[in-house]
Amino acid sequence: MKTIRLALTLGLTLLVTAALAVPSMLVEFKAAYKNVIPKGSALEKAACETCHVGHTPKLNPYGEDIKKALTAAKSKKLTPEILKKVENLDSDKDGVKNIAEIKKGTLPGDPKSK
């Protein structure tokens, strides 16, 4: 019984944490690039996949680079300044810089999307 209760508590905690953190960062990302991301593009349609592997807590390479920039800035809030710090990186190592992928509307954390 204790194991089930612990598993439920842990699962609920993870869900609440994910629900609080991810949407606000996605809103900040979309706001920062609202005039840059092409309408109807994969990036415009992307939600969590912008920084995560599917709908999981695991970060993709772009999400990892944003996490590093947040840590370096000692911030928990995603800002346009922090996003700027990762623009000239090629997070997914596909030969295309993050900002070029954002302008094309492709996913900067997915090497298949360039």
Closest CA to 42 of 107, 96, 99: 107
Residue 31 lies in a domain: yes
- Is the separation of the CB atoms in 51 and 60 below 8 Å? yes
pLDDT band (50, 70, 90) for residue 18: very low
Residue 109 lies in a domain: no
Is residue 40 helix, strand or coil?
Answer: coil
Q: Please count the structural domains in the chain.
A: 1
Residue 43 lies in a domain: yes
Q: State the average pLDDT over residues 1-19.
A: 54
Residue 114 lies in a domain: no
Query: Which residue(s) pair with 52 in the sheet?
Result: 59
Q: Tell me which residue range forms the domain holding 57.
A: 2-104
Residue 72 lies in a domain: yes
Q: Which pLDDT belongs to residue 80?
A: 96
**CA angle in degrees (0–180, nearest 5) for 40-104-53:** 80
Residue 110 lies in a domain: no
Residue 113 lies in a domain: no
Q: State the average pLDDT over residues 3-9.
A: 58
- Give the span between the Cα atoms of 11 and 40, in whole angstroms: 34
- Is the separation of the CB atoms in 69 and 86 below 8 Å? yes
Residue 114 scores a pLDDT above 90: no
Residue 85 lies in a domain: yes
